[in-house]
Structure 1
């Protein structure tokens, strides 16, 4: 991917470069001044050393050069510190905005992404790509532009003294700034792509395998697990060894080339500066070149890494685009209307085709269907997490994807409600940040957990283990219900909330859900019929269409398919 395209052919970097260009230019200027001061420090030091060696008759003859040594000696670290503050403040501000943008895109399309990407791939995006964009500025953009600005200044300023000096510097700096980085890029681009492919595979496979580690152990295939991982790991190490070997050879050549530059400056200065006080400048000119090595040495690595940054930009650009300012309306009427809806993750595989559905405020609806028919997808569409390609979904006249108060109106209890590694109180107040202790205890009593929480040593301040492992599945579902009760939403989506529980606990929880949420609109997504007799309507999905829709008692009497499903569910 071309460097220009990485910077300007995307929606993740160029907008911020334009918006915050003043801070960017200031960081480049300060970086250039920092390197220039390092060179001037060595120049002044070289002159003082050379002049002192000639035994000057008066110490005042070297007073001014010594003063310059002090000025540049203090100025260089001060400018370096200011440059670091400026550049890192700038990049941290940009990174914060990038992370916000990424979160908004993932938050809006979480269900879609979960359907289309493996967990390891999503973690790869979150873990690596924003960090790569940060490195793009700190390790590539800043060094390249500082070195380029410095090179231009050196060639122009040296031209005032000698055209031959300017010509020689242009050749050496061209090799350091352009030729060597391009050669490095050409040599490493293929190996770097292969290494990234192996690393991405390892990251995704290892994530998936660790999540399924229990199955590997129980099946007695621990050796297969290790073998499957070690093969790609060994291949990745071999490629990495080749890259490291090339890096060592390139760095050796770079040092030789830089040594040749110093020798060229010594030869030029000894020939051009050979009268009066001029010989003292030979050491000054030669030593001034050494700090420049720090400015040019990272360039080859910086240019090589652009390929990695390009992959990150491509992945981020591939995420579904969501305009964070699109939510401008508020839901007030919770009558749900779905008209002529068509939706597909892939163009040729429609999940819904001209789908229609009406749900009145306060109605309790059960949605049945085989696995993969689109029940959870429909829930995502209703909440605005997914956007239909055709048709409309509205609460009253407002589309959920354009509403600012979706979270305040629609709550979800899914199969595995998540508890964070913080206090029990913090987990519950996710639904209502200003909730009082009295409100929390009231919600816990409604879901039957008040006595259990009161028995804990720290009660509401009791730490919750990661993912809530200290609580049973039924307790986690009750805590999720407590969140919903605290949030006081109008519409509750129950997305197979009891699928992993035993029948007794499942029945108890469903009864509790329907009792506590009786005044809410309930959309109950399930794969079997336990609890559906408490619903106002039962709807069965098949191939993106509604196969039947009606009251449970009526369907049991008049619909043979529903009757058969009911009998199978009861084990008859």
Structure 2
């Protein structure tokens, strides 16, 4: 059995390997960046050496020409180093931006392919946090942390070699404090890693509150129930926790930093002391002492920064873990993307002993078997929570069945390519979703290449064209966030027009008229009659008047089919369907 330490080491190795894979496509730019950093690290040593020559040769010898030459060389090396730094900054920024661009788009595409149940269980704020602040944090790693790590390592190496060549005794004396910089770093890094994970969790909660309460539906609900103060206090509490965690994170190891500062001040004093002794003995020059102290500062700076960078790298591990955690989730389309495209002769939908559960040992559907015939309307009725919506959600494979089979024609839907399957299904739900764009843009979502005449024809069939033309901007009218500028009936008819434009052979209507006024229901019922014509149609309705003429009605209760037949047949059986009719229309309703 592996220990926790070994497990963490293995995880870190895997993470660093995946980070390398992100950088790999940009190896040329990365190589150029490293070459530039090598050159600038070497050029950075020159000013100190030149200072030594100025003090030891040019000034004592009163050689003005040599002084001008040395000063010019120092200036030129500084200018070249600065120009190279600008180029290096451009390259590193370009690499980091491209990496984040690829990661963000890959993440979005990956999330698009996740199963439907993923979005029903994960907080939206959590998704937004990983797509925004987590990726932004990773960008800082690629743009700053990694570059600074390489840069400081090269500076440290070039400075160390130069000091050893100048005087190895003084070099060893100046470096005695370096181990003290390194030892506490790991502990500080682990503390910041723990705090970073907690901080990101709090940021997710912040995004969740903001996203829910400032969305159209959430904002309206908050206003209606006078919950502004409660929600504001909730956000203040979470924000306070986030701020406290961030303060703790960025101040972690402050005593360590203080000790480092003391030792970086103490090192040059030792050089002056021992170097002065050597100067008195005639073993070293004043210029060498000054150059040594200057280079020692150049040595301490990268060591201190490398210690801090280790902390940043460990902290970034939390961000990479969160990002890679999403990438490691299995997308739904992985197993079906290469399967058969749509190629069925008929559009009969056949459920055969289908069982389904959202959670183990809690069945939602039990042995569901029925056939929805092509060109016919099959209706599902039953109490709320009986499993009607779950049944229709299985057809486009928003969820995967646990056992049994669902066929369209002779093909098992599990053998069909998902995009191909879903392209043949039209869905109209009770809660119509419209994007914050124009009416035309929302219609074109179903068929991007549709002509204006096709759009008009679909809207006329949905009894919404005249209303659209009465608007000042017509089809270019903005609908607002989630279609807030339109009534429920208007949104629903646009939704039907959108499905008509798609013109799929299979139509699913899930409570499409349950929350509408009488006039809207009248127009939508007429639109539905056109929409369902010659289609394989499955309709869920609480208003039984809308499915009275269905070819077949399935009565669902507690995840099972307990009755099946036409309206008249079910009434004669004196079962739950009759009870539902009596509750809606009264016991004296006309049979």
TM-score, length of structure 2 as denominator length:
0.81
Task: Give the CA deviation at 1:461.
Answer: 2.5
Partner of 1:182: 186
Does residue 348 (structure 1) correspond to residue 361 (structure 2)? The answer is yes
Report which stretch shifted further, 92-101 or 120-129.
120-129
3-state secondary structure, aligned to 2:494: helix
Residues 214-223 or 390-399, more deviating: 214-223
Q: Does 1:569 align with 2:574?
A: no
- The 3 A distance-change label for structure 1 pair 483 and 281 is same
- In structure 1, which of residues 397, 415, 418 is the aligned counterpart of residue 411 of structure 2? 397
SS at match of 1:546: strand
- Of 454, 474, 495, the residue aligned with 1:480 is 495
Paired with 1:362 and 1:403, the residues of 2 have a C-alpha distance of 23
Partner Cα distance (2:21, 2:249) in 1: 35
List per-residue Cα deviations over 1:80-120 (Å, max 9, x = no partner).
32232234323433433233223322xxx23x134323444
Moved more, 424-433 or 257-266: 257-266
Aligned 8 A contact 2:392 2:508 in 1: yes
- Taking only aligned residues, the RMSD between alpha carbons, in angstroms, comes to 3.8
Change (3 A) 1:167 1:198: same
Partner of 1:242: 248
How far apart, in 2, do the equivalents of 1:368 and 1:92 lie? 48
Worse-superposed segment, 386-395 or 202-211: 202-211
1:72 to 62, 81, 100: 81
Secondary structure class of the residue paired with 1:445: helix
Residues 509-552 of structure 1 deviation map (CA, whole Å, 9 limit, x = unaligned): 13321223212111112234131113111112223221112222
Cα distance in structure 2, aligned partners of 1:428 and 1:410 = 16
The residue number in structure 2 matching 1:21 is 24
| 1:143-202 CA-partner distances (Å, limit 9, x unpaired) | 5566557656766786677766786788766555x5343122244455445544444444
Who is 2:425 aligned against? 410
SS at match of 2:498: helix
CA distance in 2, matches of 1:3, 1:164: 40
Give the counterpart of 2:315 among 276, 281, 305.
305
**Are residues 411 and 461 of structure 1, via their aligned partners in 2, closer, same or farther at CA, if it must alter by over 3 Å?**
same
Query: Which of the pair has more CA radius of gyration?
Result: 2
CA change 1:209–1:541 in 2 (3 A) is same
SS at match of 1:531: helix
Determine helix, strand or coil for the equivalent of 1:354: strand
Q: Which residue of 2 aligns with 1:489?
A: 504
1:180 and 1:379, CA in 2 relative to 1: closer, same or farther beyond 3 A? farther
The structural deviation recorded for 1:489 is 0.8
Correspondent of 1:382 among 378, 395, 405: 395
Q: Does 1:332 align with 2:343?
A: yes
Aligned to 2:556: 541
Distance in 1 between residues matched to 2:73 and 2:17, nearest whole Å: 46
Trace 1:31-50 onto structure 2 (pairs within 5 A): 31-50=33-52
Q: Decide which moves more: 341-350 or 455-464.
A: 455-464
Match of 1:452 among 467, 471, 476: 467
Q: Is residue 159–residue 166 contact of structure 1 (8 Å, CA) maintained in 2?
A: yes
- 1:267–1:544 Cα change, 3 Å: farther
SS in 1 for 2:113: helix
Segment of structure 1 superposing worse, 489-498 or 525-534: 525-534
**Cα contact 1:16–1:94 (8 A) shared by 2:** no
Displacement of 1:305: 2.2
* Distance 1:461-1:368 versus aligned 2 partners, 3 A rule: same
Name the CA distance, whole Å, in 2 between partners of 1:547 and 1:346: 23
Q: 97, 113, 122: which is aligned to 2:118?
A: 113
- Contact 2:459-2:494 at 8 Å conserved across structures: yes
- Secondary structure of 1:534's aligned partner: coil
| Contact residue 496 and residue 527 of structure 2 kept, 8 A | no
Q: Which runs of 5+ in 2 are unaligned?
A: none
Aligned-residue offset at 1:564: 1.6
Distance 1:133 1:442 in 2: 49
Q: Secondary structure at the match of 2:189?
A: helix
The answer on whether the counterparts of 1:46 and 1:283 sit within 8 Å (CA) in structure 2 is no
Residue of structure 1 in register with 2:526 after alignment:
511
Q: Could you say if the C-alpha distance between residues 279 and 310 of structure 1 is closer, same or farther in structure 2, counting changes exceeding 3 Å?
A: closer
Residues 220/346 of structure 1: CA separation in 2 closer, same or farther (3 Å cut): same
Whether 1:429 and 2:423 are equivalent positions in the alignment is no
Larger displacement relative to structure 2 (13-22 or 422-431): 13-22
CA distance, structure 1, for counterparts of residue 574 and residue 229 of structure 2? 53
Change (3 A) 1:171 1:408: farther
Name the CA distance, whole Å, in 1 between partners of 2:36 and 2:459: 61
Q: Which runs of 5+ in 1 are unaligned?
A: none
Higher alpha-carbon deviation: 149-158 or 87-96: 149-158
Give, in whole Å, the separation in 2 of the partners of 1:20 and 1:189. 23
Task: Using the TM superposition, give the Cα deviation of residue 295 of structure 1 relative to its aligned residue in structure 2, in angstroms.
Answer: 5.3
Deviation of 1:348 after TM superposition, in Å, equals: 1.9
